[in-house]
Structure 1
Amino acid sequence: MGKSIAFVETSGVSSDELKALCREIIPDVKVYQLIDDSLIQEVNANCGPTPFVRRRMMEYYRNAQELGVDLIINQCSSVGEAADAIMPFLDTPVLKIDQAMAERAVELGRKIAVIATVESTTGPSVRLIENVAAKMGKEIEVDLHLVEGAMMVLIEQGDAEKHNRMVLGEVQKAAKDNDVVVLAQGSMTVLLPLLKDIPVPVLSSPRLCVERVKELLEAQG
């Protein structure tokens, strides 16, 4: 029997990209996507996961586990810490979409800029990088930039051009004072074609995540 994975997603904004990356990097792996875009709306309205969001996430994780998948991926950085709390109650391993990105950022530099497009992601993203650095025994500085409302422009209006105008200036500014720039939302990959002239590495989570998925599945045998 072949390998299979499940993405638990709080919006569909990056679902097509994740499927495309899986076809490219892990073409023989069966991919399930469990998407509930009401989750991100509630998270954003409350600046973080509510108890109701956590309960629904648990249900989706259990549903994914019942599918018999080899790995579950939490697609949303804003609920990454909620995923951490769920992991001990599952038999199936869980990977957060931004885990590999955080590790790469800490490897690349001491001064790390985090660009976020929704407030609910700021705390979890910064704490993830700080925790990774602590485990690696490395001192870092995190420079947070919030482009408030940009993510919802992309999700609700589908306006990638406006989203990119809102975010690009912050990325350029952050690159002047930092060793590496982290794009906290996977949805920000729409910006990548505009970042070729940025003088420092700019990291986005989807590709790094799927590459890590491949490594984990290969390690499972």
Structure 2
Amino acid sequence: MSPLRLAVIHTSPATVDLFARLIAEQLPQARITNILDDSVLPQLRENGGRVEEIAPRWRQYARIARDGGAQLILNACSSIGELCEPVARELGIPVIRVDAAMAAQAVQRGPRIAVAATLASTLRPTCDLLAQAALAQGRAVTVQAKLAAGAYEALMAGDRAGHDDLVAATLAEAAGEAEVVVLAQASMARVLPRLAAADQARCLVSPPLAVASLVSAARSL
């Protein structure tokens, strides 16, 4: 039997090794192709989050992956998750949205949800996804956006410690106000060990749940 062939489309180098490790743990025989465009997030930050400007080239990345033999695609960026469904229909292969499973689990865990992010452009799509998940499950939720102001700028300036300090403070504040805290960006997860155990328990991160969805999709091929 031929090995499973996967493609992961990234918008940050920070997610490349993370997903490679998680996928290797769950699907050790899979062959992974990584496609990285680190200009996407800066562009969304500058254009006010207009995903339609990104759509043509992201669609092309997905088509290249499919034409290269990928049977499944994982979109590792929550800021452009809305592109997954239409591209999957167009290409005829599953395209996994990195935060879809996280959103579904979040609305099951409680009606008060906080969404934490370092980029304002990531907040809207994540909040919209939670609203869609709640509607699909017939649940009523309130969603509060929490921006770790200055964290992204600190990271871009090479101040990783400053970024982590701001993210940790935002997550702790969010955990004190909501039953569930959704981390809108996978790169924020490394800050969780700095939180109190009770606050950590309220937080949800997307990578493990996204890979579980990838495994489930692989079994259905």
TM-score (norm 1): 0.92
Mapped pair 1:217 → 2:218: yes
List per-residue Cα deviations over 1:132-185 (Å, max 9, x = no partner): 11000111111110113423433x244332111001112111112211111000
User: Aligned-pair distance for 1:216?
Assistant: 1.5
Q: Which residue of 2 aligns with 1:193?
A: 193
User: Aligned-pair distance for 1:52?
Assistant: 4.0
- Rounded to whole Å, the distance in 1 between the matches of 2:182 and 2:53 is 29
Q: Which residue of 1 aligns with 2:146?
A: 145
- Rounded to whole Å, the distance in 2 between the matches of 1:59 and 1:219 is 25
- Rounded to whole Å, the distance in 2 between the matches of 1:196 and 1:205 is 20
Give 1:151's aligned amino acid.
Y
Q: Which residue of 2 aligns with 1:4?
A: 5
- Rounded to whole Å, the distance in 2 between the matches of 1:204 and 1:15 is 16
User: Aligned-pair distance for 1:30?
Assistant: 1.1
Q: Which residue of 1 aligns with 2:166?
A: 166
Give 1:74's aligned amino acid.
N
Give 2:111's aligned amino acid.
R
User: Aligned-pair distance for 1:78?
Assistant: 0.9
User: SS at the partner of 2:134?
Assistant: helix
Mapped pair 1:67 → 2:68: yes
User: SS at the partner of 1:28?
Assistant: coil
**C-alpha contact 2:168 2:192 (8 A) present in aligned 1:** no
Give 2:203's aligned amino acid.
V
User: Aligned-pair distance for 1:22?
Assistant: 1.3
Give 1:28's aligned amino acid.
Q
List per-residue Cα deviations over 1:101-152 (Å, max 9, x = no partner): 1111111111111101101111100000110110001111111101134234
- Rounded to whole Å, the distance in 2 between the matches of 1:158 and 1:63 is 32
Structure 1 residues 152, 8: closer, same or farther in 2, change over 3 A? farther
- Rounded to whole Å, the distance in 2 between the matches of 1:158 and 1:105 is 32
Structure 1 residues 219, 191: closer, same or farther in 2, change over 3 A? same
List per-residue Cα deviations over 1:168-205 (Å, max 9, x = no partner): 11211111221111100011122122235234421111
- Rounded to whole Å, the distance in 2 between the matches of 1:43 and 1:80 is 13
**C-alpha contact 1:118 1:149 (8 A) present in aligned 2:** no
- Rounded to whole Å, the distance in 1 between the matches of 2:153 and 2:23 is 25
Structure 2: gaps spanning 5 or more residues? none
**C-alpha contact 1:43 1:49 (8 A) present in aligned 2:** yes
**CA RMSD, aligned part only?**
1.6
**C-alpha contact 2:148 2:167 (8 A) present in aligned 1:** yes
Name the stretch that deviates more: 76-85 or 32-41. 76-85
Give 1:101's aligned amino acid.
M
Give 2:173's aligned amino acid.
K
Give 1:116's aligned amino acid.
A
- Rounded to whole Å, the distance in 1 between the matches of 2:176 and 2:185 is 21
Structure 1 residues 28, 147: closer, same or farther in 2, change over 3 A? same
Q: Which residue of 1 aligns with 2:209?
A: 208
Q: Which residue of 1 aligns with 2:39?
A: 38
Taking only the aligned residue pairs, the percentage that are identical comes to 33
Give 1:183's aligned amino acid.
L
**C-alpha contact 1:42 1:50 (8 A) present in aligned 2:** no
Structure 1 residues 106, 28: closer, same or farther in 2, change over 3 A? same
Structure 1 residues 103, 51: closer, same or farther in 2, change over 3 A? closer
- Rounded to whole Å, the distance in 2 between the matches of 1:114 and 1:194 is 18
User: Aligned-pair distance for 1:51?
Assistant: 4.2
Q: Which residue of 1 aligns with 2:88?
A: 87
